């Protein structure tokens, strides 16, 4: 079992101020795989103080100096990719091939994307012939991240914070903390100066709340549930710190009559990816009545053909849910779904042959209406809800009838309709016809899916203040 009790503060691994062990559970086996510590106020204060002291000099470093360190970080990240894949696979149950290609891959993809955007980024812009606009680092940032795409989230925050000259305290999810600890080693080995990057493990009620309310923290960048996003915003209000939020979602995938023949299959696969534990999962499949029966059948077949198994197995199966709490929540929502809608695949309990580990059955509900609990709540498991529609207007109305607004999906061969519908969907992202987003594309939500944008140039701007200076040049 791994012993990872120390925190990374001011360039050193330090013991917590008071012992407070926390077990990390491997969701594939339900066995403890590591022990970490949950920090307290003294640890939070020490990390924030280190970041505050380091800010003076780090914020004055040049773009070239910071670029060189980030390139070094990318080199180390790539060289130690396998260790990172193993850590994430064990802590949150991503099957090892998915962990290598997508969980680790997302980190390097975003790091490269930031380096490209940073190359073109100007921190001093001419406003008029005599007036300059300066973009300056916001200060000490608290980075609070979830367990579902651990490295994706950490890179999307720590890298732009470093690039823009901010200093930071990262609090990774206590449920999946091993990848964050490894990332801290990479940052250290890249030669990032002491105090620029600090890591304190802890839970939401402890270190999470302490960082959110801390008078010496200038900004909180948070990814996680809408519930925690609201709590953080309230805790941050007394000090009026900037709060950037990436929260939950309940994405609609609109399949029109002229969609690709395999659109329902692709949609179901996408919903089940990462065991449904993605904020941008297309969990509501809206299908035109002319394709409805075929889509229900195809989605059910896809669910039945989706293999579920341990994260350490190679292959394209899906892994367990991350924790007992998540398993219980998903089971309860499947039970609710069975009382509301028509179950066409999956259902309660573990898949056959698996009696230990937090495995859920890939599940499909048909005849769902948008007022049902399973259409409104973010389930965060491999559960798909299929809703019938007749007209384009109706599809748009259903898609937008949710408190969330992260990613929606449109499937149609009609170019005009694709653009028209994309414009009317109230979400930060609209993916059409399975076309993936480009590197550095802005990631973020409308409504209760948050207010931040991550990745590329938009992601750099999140960490900057804007200063207007008159008389920069003589008239």
Closest to 428 measured CA to CA, from 412, 401, 404: 404
Classify 447 as helix, strand or coil. Answer: helix
Query: Given 246, 340, 431, 462, which residue is catalytic?
Result: 246
Number of residues that bind ligand NAD (CB under 6 A): 31
Sequence length of the chain is 475
CA nearest 160: which of 464, 459, 465?
459
Residues between 147 and 176 that touch ligand NAD (CB under 6 A): 147-149, 171, 173-174
Among 104-112, 240-248, 256-264, 301-309, which window interacts with ligand NAD (CB under 6 A)?
240-248
Burial letters 142-155, b for 16+ CB under 10 A, else e = bbbbbbbbbbbbbb
Does the protein bind ligand NAD through residue 283 (CB under 6 A)? no
Q: How far is the CB of 134 from ligand NAD (least distance, A)?
A: 29
- Asked whether position 427 contacts ligand NAD by CB under 6 A, the answer is no
Confirm or reject binding of residue 146 to ligand NAD (CB under 6 A): yes
Least Å from the CB of residue 378 to ligand NAD: 5
- Is 475 a known active-site residue? no
141 neighbors 49 (Cβ within 8 angstroms): no
Is 145 a binding residue for ligand NAD by CB under 6 A? The answer is yes
Q: Does 204 bind ligand NAD (CB under 6 A)?
A: yes
Residue 212 contacts ligand NAD per CB under 6 A: yes
Q: Of 74, 212, 230, nearest to 143 (Cα)?
A: 212
Residue of the chain from 26, 218, 340, 378 that contacts ligand NAD (CB under 6 A): 378
Query: Encoding tokens for residue 148?
Result: 């579902």
Q: Which of 16, 39, 224, 456 binds ligand NAD (CB under 6 A)?
A: 224
Q: What is the DSSP letter of 442?
A: -
Is 55 a binding residue for ligand NAD by CB under 6 A? The answer is no
CA pair distance 155, 129, nearest whole angstrom = 37
Cβ neighbours around 338 below 10 Å, total: 15
For this structure, is 33 an active site residue?
Answer: no
How far is residue 113's CA from residue 271's CA, in Å, rounded to a whole number?
Answer: 26
The sign one gets for the Cα dihedral 299, 279, 114, 469 is: positive
* Candidates 60-68, 115-123, 431-439, 445-453; binding stretch for ligand NAD (CB under 6 A): 445-453
Kindly list the catalytic residues: 246, 279
Residues that bind ligand NAD (CB under 6 A): 144-149, 171, 173-174, 203-204, 208-209, 212, 223-225, 228, 231-232, 246-249, 279, 378, 380, 406, 445, 449-450
């Amino acid at each position: 079992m791994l012993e990872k009790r120390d925190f990374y503060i001011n360039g050193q691994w330090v013991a917590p101020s008071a012992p407070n062990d926390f077990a990390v559970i491997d969701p594939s086996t339900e066995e403890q795989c590591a022990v970490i510590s949950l920090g307290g106020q003294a640890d939070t204060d020490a990390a924030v103080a280190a970041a505050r002291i380091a800010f003076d000099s780090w914020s004055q470093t040049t773009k070239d100096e910071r670029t060189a360190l980030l390139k070094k970080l990318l080199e180390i990240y790539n060289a130690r990719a396998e260790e990172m894949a193993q850590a994430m696979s064990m802590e949150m149950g991503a099957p090892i091939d998915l962990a290598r290609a997508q969980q680790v891959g997302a980190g390097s993809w975003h790091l490269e994307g930031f380096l490209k955007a940073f190359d073109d980024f100007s921190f001093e812009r001419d406003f008029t012939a005599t007036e300059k606009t300066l973009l300056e680092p916001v200060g000490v940032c608290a980075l609070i991240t979830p367990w579902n795409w651990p490295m994706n989230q950490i890179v999307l925050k720590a890298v732009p914070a470093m690039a823009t000259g901010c200093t930071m305290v990262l609090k990774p999810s206590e449920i999946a903390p091993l990848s964050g600890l490894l990332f801290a080693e990479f940052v250290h080995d890249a030669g990032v100066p002491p105090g620029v990057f600090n890591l304190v493990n802890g839970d939401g009620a402890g270190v999470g709340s302490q960082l959110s309310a801390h008078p010496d923290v200038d900004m909180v960048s948070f990814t996680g549930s809408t519930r925690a996003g609201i709590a953080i915003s309230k805790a941050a209000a007394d000090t009026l710190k900037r709060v950037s939020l990436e929260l939950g979602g309940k994405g609609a995938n609109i399949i029109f009559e002229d969609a690709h023949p395999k659109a329902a299959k692709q949609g179901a696969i996408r919903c089940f990816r990462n065991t449904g534990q993605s904020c941008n999962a297309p969990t509501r499949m809206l299908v035109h009545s002319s394709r409805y029966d075929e889509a229900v059948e195809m989605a059910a077949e896809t669910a039945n053909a989706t293999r579920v198994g341990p994260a350490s197995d190679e292959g394209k199966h899906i892994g367990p849910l991350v924790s007992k709490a998540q398993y219980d929540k998903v089971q309860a929502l499947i039970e609710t779904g069975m009382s509301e809608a028509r179950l066409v695949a999956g259902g309660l309990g573990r898949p056959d042959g698996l009696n230990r580990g937090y495995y859920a059955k890939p599940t499909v509900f048909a005849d769902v209406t948008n007022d049902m609990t399973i259409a409104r709540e973010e389930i965060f498991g491999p559960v798909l809800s299929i809703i019938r529609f007749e007209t384009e207007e109706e599809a748009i109305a259903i898609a937008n009838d949710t408190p969330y607004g992260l990613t929606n999906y449109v499937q149609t061969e009609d170019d005009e309709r694709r653009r028209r519908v994309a414009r009317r969907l109230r979400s930060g992202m609209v993916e059409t016809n399975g076309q993936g987003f480009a590197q550095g594309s802005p990631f973020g939500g409308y409504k209760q899916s948050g207010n931040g944008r991550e990745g590329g140039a938009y992601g750099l701007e999140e960490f900057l203040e804007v200063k207007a200076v008159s008389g920069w040049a003589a008239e």
